[in-house]
Amino acid sequence: MARDPVPSHASRRRCSVRPAARTTHCPTTREPFTGSPLTPRRARPSTDPKDSKHPMPRGRYSLHDPHDHTPLGEEHFHCTPGPSGWRYVSQTITPSGDHAGSVDLALDDLGRPIRLELHTASWQVRGAALDGVTWVRTDPTGVHATEGNVRAHAFTGTSPAFLVALTRLLRLTPASPATRLRLVAFTDPVLAPRTLDQSWSLVKSEAHATDNGPLMVDEYQVNALDTGEQHQIHIAGDVVLSAPGIELEHLETPPSAFPTEPKASNPTTF
Predicted confidence (pLDDT) per residue in 167-220, tens digit:
999 999 999 999 999 999 998 889 999 999 999 999 999 999 888 788 999 999
Q: Is the residue at 6 inside a domain?
A: no
pLDDT per residue as tens digits for the range 248-259: 999 998 899 876
Counted domains in the chain: 1
pLDDT digits (tens, 9 = 90+) for 141-160: 778 899 999 999 999 999 99
Structure-model confidence comparison of residues 219 and 5, the more confident one: 219
User: What is the predicted pLDDT for the residue at 15?
Assistant: 39
Pairing type for strands 154-157 and 179-187 reads parallel
Residue 26 lies in a domain: no
Q: Which domain range does residue 229 map to? A: 56-251
| Pairwise CA distance, residues 126 & 216, whole Å | 33
Give the type of residue at 159.
Answer: S
For residue 17, being part of any structural domain is answered with: no
- pLDDT one-digit tens code per residue, 12-40: 343 333 333 333 343 333 433 333 333 33
- Average pLDDT value for the chain: 81
In a domain, 229, yes or no: yes
Residue 65 lies in a domain: yes
In a domain, 257, yes or no: no
In a domain, 208, yes or no: yes
Tell me what pLDDT residue 265 has: 36
